[in-house]
């Protein structure tokens, strides 16, 4: 059972304060949010930073709820997704990982690269352009989640797509919220 200790040590060394792997639904989203909120409250975090962390968490979690069921090959399904929060002296990191079909990687990477190429005003313009022209998708998204995460973070979105098998990559996303934002 050394893996328990290994996992514990990894969480400590990576400064993880919350890890959730399992079925991602609106209900689990609410539970995770309230757990994280309690954690931020009890640590006396500044309210503006708490709000930003909350904001990024909601978008990240709802992304997983909406997209992690892309897998249809039986056992993997939505259980394959993971959500993590890290807390370091100078920042919080909200991280997600979920399978994505390989044919969708190029489009997603393009959207993320576009967002990362924009400054504060550019992101604001993109947000307004999307909100004016978008309609809510079948999955309930407005196509604004990553733009909003980038705006609330104030930093570049970090992402990677390690290969899972011939059909899927694992979309890893890390969004940082600086703590010393003054």
Partner 1 sequence: MEILNLEGTEDTPKIILDKKNGIFEISGRSLPEDSAEFYRPVLEWIEKYSSDSNPSTEFVFKLEYFNTASSKLILDVLSALEDIKGMKILWYFHEDDEDMEEAGQEFSELVEIPFEFKTY
| Chain positions contacting partner 1, by CB under 8 A | 26, 30, 34, 47-48, 51-52, 54-55, 58-59, 62, 65, 124, 127-128, 131-132, 134-136, 140-142, 144-145, 147-148, 152
CB of 182 to partner 1, least distance (A): 12
CB of 96 to partner 1, least distance (A): 15
Question: Which is closer to partner 1, CB of 14 or CB of 34?
Answer: 34
Question: Which is closer to partner 1, CB of 11 or CB of 33?
Answer: 33
Question: Which is closer to partner 1, CB of 61 or CB of 169?
Answer: 61
Three-state secondary structure of the chain: CHHHHHHHHHHHHCCEEEEEECCCCHHHHHHHHHHHHHHHHHCCCCHHHHHHHHHHHHHHHHHHHHHHHHCCCCCCHHHHCEEEEEECCCEEEEEEEEEEEHHHHHHHHHHHHHHHCCCHHHHHHHHHHHHHHCCCCCCCCCCCHHHHHHHHHCCCCEEECCECCCCEEEEEEEEEEECCCC
CB of 119 to partner 1, least distance (A): 15
Question: Which is closer to partner 1, CB of 15 or CB of 141?
Answer: 141
């Amino acid at each position: 059972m050394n893996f328990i200790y290994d996992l514990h040590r990894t969480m400590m060394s990576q400064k993880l304060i919350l890890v959730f792997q399992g079925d991602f639904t609106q209900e689990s989203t609410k539970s995770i949010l309230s757990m994280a909120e309690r954690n931020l409250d009890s640590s006396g975090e500044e309210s503006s930073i708490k709000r930003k962390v909350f904001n990024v968490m909601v978008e990240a979690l709802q992304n997983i709820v909406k997209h992690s069921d892309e897998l249809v090959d039986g056992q993997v399904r939505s259980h394959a997704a993971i959500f993590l929060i890290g807390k370091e002296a100078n920042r919080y990191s909200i991280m997600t990982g979920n399978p994505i079909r390989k044919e969708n990687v190029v489009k997603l990477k393009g959207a993320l690269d576009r967002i990362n190429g924009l400054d504060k005003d550019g992101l604001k313009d993109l947000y307004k352009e999307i909100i004016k022209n978008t309609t809510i998708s079948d999955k309930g998204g407005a196509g604004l989640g990553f733009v909003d995460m980038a705006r609330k973070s104030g930093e570049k979105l970090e992402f990677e797509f390690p290969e899972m098998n011939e059909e899927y990559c694992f979309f890893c996303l890390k969004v940082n919220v600086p703590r010393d934002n003054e």
